Amino acid sequence: MLCFNLAVSKADFRLNIKAELPAQGVTGLVGVSGAGKTTLLRGLAGLEEGCHGFVRFNDQHWFDSEKRLNLPLYKRSIGFVFQRPSLLPHLNVQGNLDYAWNRVPRNRRIVSISEAIEWLDIHDLLYRRPHQLSGGEAQRVAIARSLCANSDLLLMDEPLAAVDISGRNEILRLLEDIKKKLTLPILYVSHALDEVARLSDQLLIMKQGRLLAQGPVEEMLTRFDLPLAHAADAEAVLDVFVDSYDESNKISKLSGSAGSLYVTQSLSPGSRQRLRIGAKDVSIALSHADDSSILNILPATIIEISAENGGQNLLKLQVGDAVILARLSQQSVNRLSLTVGMSVFAQIKAVSLV
């Protein structure tokens, strides 16, 4: 478990945050630019000067300003993936991986170089120099290198910020797979909602240097008192289990806390998947439309309605044990006389599989 209480004062900014993170899984750290995400990450790594408070990881004390204790980064067993690709320019890709690997004590070597190479799909890049790599390739190598370091904690500071769209999607896909193979906790900073929705188990939301909220990703994405639900690309996530795949109709049946859902994609039965449902992809009907082409129509209860700017309304719907969002026009809300507590049908026009 990572436990910290950090305060840093800068010229125009003050960080003051206290939190505890579980010892495994991905924690997304979100907030607008200038919220202090990078400063916090650097503070945890011991790279930020003038910190007050403490940082503890499991039973190790990394930092304690009262006891004048400040373990340098190289003794903290932290892997760090920086925003800009940061490969050592005098070494090739293999050299960069070896650099990390050679500094890991034998008894702590869990992830091997060959596994890291495979997981990040960088086999063809091994003999390239850093300046011969694209932004996405360089960042894949940087992530592989941080895995080779076999640290106890992985800090990732907007690793996809300097990567183009196609590289970004590929890395996200790889990260989702890697996440399932690793046991170490990851703190992942991003201001892109879809990134954290895809990767995180829980979220830490920061605002102006302070902790706004912390909790499971499903809850943080859909709470109306938090900014994420009001974002233009607001979405809910559901963790589901693949029941079966119907070969003739090319359709997979998924089950989870929201009940049964169908996707037109071949998935292996038994596997776990994360579904993302965008607020703009959900519409409401008062009766179950049997003549609709929409695949997923689920009974739902309206639990919250919030008027937004531009004649839009955001609805929070209880679907089984899950919560999803729907964004409707004011006119639709009026026409259907939607109120809190009503039983309706949520028509899910599209789901994104992670």
Q: Which is nearer to another protein, 77 or 252 (CB)?
A: 77
* CA-to-CA dists, residue 145 to 152, 174, 183, 263, 344, angstroms: 14, 14, 17, 36, 50
Go through the chain and tell me how many residues it has.
Answer: 354
Closest approach, Cβ 54 to another protein, in A, equals: 20
Closest approach, Cβ 81 to another protein, in A, equals: 9
Amino acid at 177: D
Q: Which is nearer to another protein, 158 or 281 (CB)?
A: 158
Closest approach, Cβ 112 to another protein, in A, equals: 16
The encoded tokens of residue 120 equal 């990040």
Closest approach, Cβ 143 to another protein, in A, equals: 12
Give the DSSP letter string of 246-268: ETTTTEEEEEETTEEEEESS---
Give the DSSP letter string of 154-186: EEEESTTTTS-HHHHHHHHHHHHHHHHH--S-E
Q: Which is nearer to another protein, 10 or 84 (CB)?
A: 84
Cite the DSSP H helix spans in the chain: 37-45, 93-101, 113-120, 135-148, 165-181, 193-199, 217-222, 330-335
Closest approach, Cβ 80 to another protein, in A, equals: 4
Q: Which is nearer to another protein, 81 or 348 (CB)?
A: 81
Beta bridge partners of 29: 189, 204
Closest approach, Cβ 99 to another protein, in A, equals: 6
State the sign of the Cα–Cα–Cα–Cα dihedral 263, 268, 271, 274: negative
The encoded tokens of residue 80 equal 């760090």
Q: How far apart are CA 91 and CA 127, in angstroms?
A: 9
Closest approach, Cβ 149 to another protein, in A, equals: 5
Q: Which is nearer to another protein, 37 or 145 (CB)?
A: 145
Q: Which is nearer to another protein, 35 or 156 (CB)?
A: 156
Closest approach, Cβ 110 to another protein, in A, equals: 14
Q: Which is nearer to another protein, 120 or 326 (CB)?
A: 120
179: Cβ contacts below 8 Å, ≥ 6 apart: 26, 186, 199
Residues engaged in binding another protein (CB under 8 A): 45, 47, 72-74, 77-80, 82, 84, 86, 88-90, 99-100, 103-104, 130-132, 145-146, 149, 151
Q: Which is nearer to another protein, 81 or 229 (CB)?
A: 81
Closest approach, Cβ 130 to another protein, in A, equals: 7
CA 16 to chain centre: 23
111: Cβ contacts below 8 Å, ≥ 6 apart: 147, 148, 150, 182
CA dihedral 195, 201, 205, 206 (to 10 degrees): -80
* CA-to-CA dists, residue 95 to 27, 80, 128, 242, 246, angstroms: 30, 18, 10, 41, 47
**First and final CA of the chain: distance in angstroms?**
27
Q: Which is nearer to another protein, 139 or 273 (CB)?
A: 139
